[in-house]
Amino acid sequence: MSDAALSLVILGVTVALFIVNRLPVGVVAIGSALALYFCGLVSVDEMTSGLGATVIVFIAALFVVSEGLEASGITTWVGQSMTRIAGDTPIRVITVVMVLAALLAALITVNGAAAALVPVTVALARHADMLPSRVLIPLAYGCSAGSLLTLSGSPVNVIIDESMVTLSDDGFGYFEFGIVGVPLVVVTVAITAVMGRRALPQRESTSLPDDFSGYVGTVTDHYGLDDRLFRLHVGTDSTVLGTSLTEIDVDHDGVVAVAAQREATATVLEPDQPLEVGDVIVVSGPGTAVTEAARRLGVTVEDIAGRRSRAGRLIDRDTGLSEVVIPPRSEWIGDRAVAGMVRGDGLLVLSIRRRSKDVGPRVVDLEEGDTLLVHGPWRAIDALAADRRVLVVASSELLRRQTVPLGRSAPRAAAILVAMIVLLATGVVPAVVAALLAALAMILTRVITTDHAYRAIAWPTLVLIAALIPMSTAIADSGGAELVARPIVDLVADHSPYVLLITLFLLTAVLGQFISNAATVLIVIPIALAAAADVGVDARPVLMLVCVAGAASLLTPIATPANMIVMTPGGYRFGDYWRLGVPIMAGWLLVALLVIPAVWPLSG
């Protein structure tokens, strides 16, 4: 068996294993690379070349940039803005996601847009009570369509432009791709809106983060924060100086003295201990009655149950909430606590629950299993995650990201994003360099930490892509692609130019489902130009058609990194893509046949 035929056999087995879905996709991909090596189709260096490939580094850097956008609150802001536009109607949600994906892909490439918009899309789906699997494939397809809006939308566009320059010294303009790209986006959105309900799978994903969009309302109801608690601050002019809690006359008109705290030591005072300047009295009762009692006692009032930031929120850029549970053998067990006290770390205890019930306005000795709701600076909230004396119920990092739009690092992250887009659009530096500069800037400007950057990279996705790159190399170098392509082109050499266009589209699109679209167009371009010359068709429309077909990576998750980026969060299987991908690809072919000859005449 020739090397060309052998490479196609390995490709066929790999695709079959992907479809059967009995083995993890990463195992299948790595196994295919090893099979190519043992069959002598690739060397060791070629087998591992994917790990250092430009596309791998580019995607990894884009994951870091996406993490910076999410950590800074830009993603949350975009999600909230899009939520107002999209509402909760599935068709509107899908349309908004796809249009946004197309526009962003035109600026920062297909893969960058997919990586950046996955969290936004998941948030929109949750708001509309939809499974993310119903919108993430449309996200990937919107990115693919949007890549044809500008020259910098995809490496394929650059390859096609360079081929045209080589032929005639006159390439395509930066926005000339948009002539066919705009109708492709419209057709893609329209087909998805019409057929998406039947064609998109309903899959549950186990890798999605918790949803904190309604967190504040949930904890307000759960912990009874509508009950009014107040902190009365004792000053130098207070009439209660030197008296104890039992001696204070506030127990009328519904006002009840709950406890007293010495803030200097963050301890709850005994009822008979005298009060000093700086001490705090925790009381409950109607707000008007508490205000009157405070005036009479000469103390200042702080409404803690309704504690809010200057913007009127429990959670903002500076302060947040956290639920913590007292674990067995915790050093907190036995500590005296009361709702309304401020701990030594600056965190205010808003509520205490024991055995799923609120302990109410009274002092308790903490026990194993008690739950505390605390409020304070994010720095102190984040520190709880490393405190072994408590168990944090929900990640403060995820809570902040989903509830605080446009954090303090948002201007820096936005400036970095704009700079990266400018570098990508102008081509001053290679795309991978622009992405690496942006990722590095996110860390140096402290938008994210180094640890966050490492965690942001979806390593399984990168391994999958890297393991499949040798397949492209083997099929191209062994002649496997030409083994399939040449006879097909020869069959239509003497037929109508439209037959040639259809054949080239199908050939490019089919190859592009299994090897990278950049590798696909590099293989097809010389074949297409030779066939065009034989039939008497101008090179410009032929190259534009190959460009469109090269972007039509819609039938498999391995067709493009964007498809793989949405695979895990969407809970997709290998066979979930073609159901919607086939009608969209048919729509793309129709657009290509109508628009390309009308704009770029077939006869030179």
Which tens digit of pLDDT belongs to each residue from 207-258?
A: 676 677 677 778 877 777 666 778 889 988 888 888 888 888 776 677 888 8
| Same domain as 389, residue 494 | no
Please choose, from the candidates 169, 363, 366, 135, the residue with its C-alpha nearest in 3D space to the C-alpha of residue 259: 363
CA dist., res. 345 & res. 101, Å (int):
43
Higher pLDDT, residue 338 or 183 = 183
Q: 44 is in which domain, residue-wise?
A: 3-209+455-599
pLDDT at 227: 62
CA dist., res. 97 & res. 557, Å (int):
19
Asked if the structure places residue 430 within a domain, the reply is no
What is the secondary structure of 77-92 as a DSSP string? HHHHHHHHHHTT-HHH
| Type of residue at 440 | L
Asked if the structure places residue 406 within a domain, the reply is no
Asked if the structure places residue 421 within a domain, the reply is no
| Same domain as 183, residue 49 | yes
Asked if the structure places residue 153 within a domain, the reply is yes
Cα 124–Cα 436–Cα 71 angle in degrees, nearest 5: 35
CB-based contact 189:98 (threshold 8 Å): yes
| Same domain as 361, residue 494 | no
| Same domain as 190, residue 43 | yes
CA dist., res. 458 & res. 159, Å (int):
27
CA dist., res. 143 & res. 121, Å (int):
13
Asked if the structure places residue 48 within a domain, the reply is yes
| Same domain as 116, residue 50 | yes
Q: How many CB atoms lie within 10 A of CB 186?
A: 15
Domain boundary among the residues 304, 328, 349 is at 304
- Per-residue pLDDT tens digits for 457-496: 878 767 777 787 787 678 767 877 677 666 766 776 667 7
442: Cβ contacts below 8 Å, ≥ 6 apart: 64, 65, 67, 68, 413, 416, 448, 453
pLDDT at 311: 43
The H or E element spanning position 202 is none
- Per-residue pLDDT tens digits for 122-133: 888 888 888 999
| Same domain as 136, residue 92 | yes
CA dist., res. 70 & res. 436, Å (int):
17
| Same domain as 236, residue 203 | no
Asked if the structure places residue 286 within a domain, the reply is yes
pLDDT at 308: 45
- Per-residue pLDDT tens digits for 43-86: 898 888 877 777 778 778 878 887 888 788 887 787 777 777 87
| Type of residue at 241 | L
CATH code (residue 372): 3.30.70.1450
**Mean pLDDT value of segment 350-377:** 88
| Same domain as 514, residue 385 | no
169: Cβ contacts below 8 Å, ≥ 6 apart: none
Structurally, how many domains does the chain consist of?
Answer: 3
Residue 134 pLDDT grade (very low, low, confident, very high; cuts 50, 70, 90): very high
Q: Report the phi/psi class of residue 314: left, alpha or beta, with left for phi > 0 and alpha for psi in -120 to 50.
A: alpha
CB-based contact 438:456 (threshold 8 Å): no
**Mean pLDDT value of segment 298-318:** 66
| Same domain as 58, residue 176 | yes
The pTM of the full predicted model, rounded to 2 decimals, is 0.68
CA dist., res. 142 & res. 192, Å (int):
10
| Same domain as 248, residue 194 | no
CA dist., res. 426 & res. 417, Å (int):
14
Higher pLDDT, residue 6 or 478 = 6
> Structure tokens of 487?
């006879």
| Same domain as 239, residue 201 | no
Domain boundary among the residues 342, 364, 393 is at 393
Asked if the structure places residue 133 within a domain, the reply is yes
Residue 537 pLDDT grade (very low, low, confident, very high; cuts 50, 70, 90): confident
Q: How many CB atoms lie within 10 A of CB 516?
A: 27
CA dist., res. 552 & res. 581, Å (int):
9
Whether 312 shows a pLDDT value over 70: the answer reads: no
Domain boundary among the residues 376, 393, 410 is at 393
Sign of the CA dihedral running 472, 567, 88, 393: negative
| Same domain as 320, residue 286 | no
Asked if the structure places residue 189 within a domain, the reply is yes
CA dist., res. 394 & res. 399, Å (int):
7
Q: How many Å is the maximal CA-CA distance in the chain?
A: 106
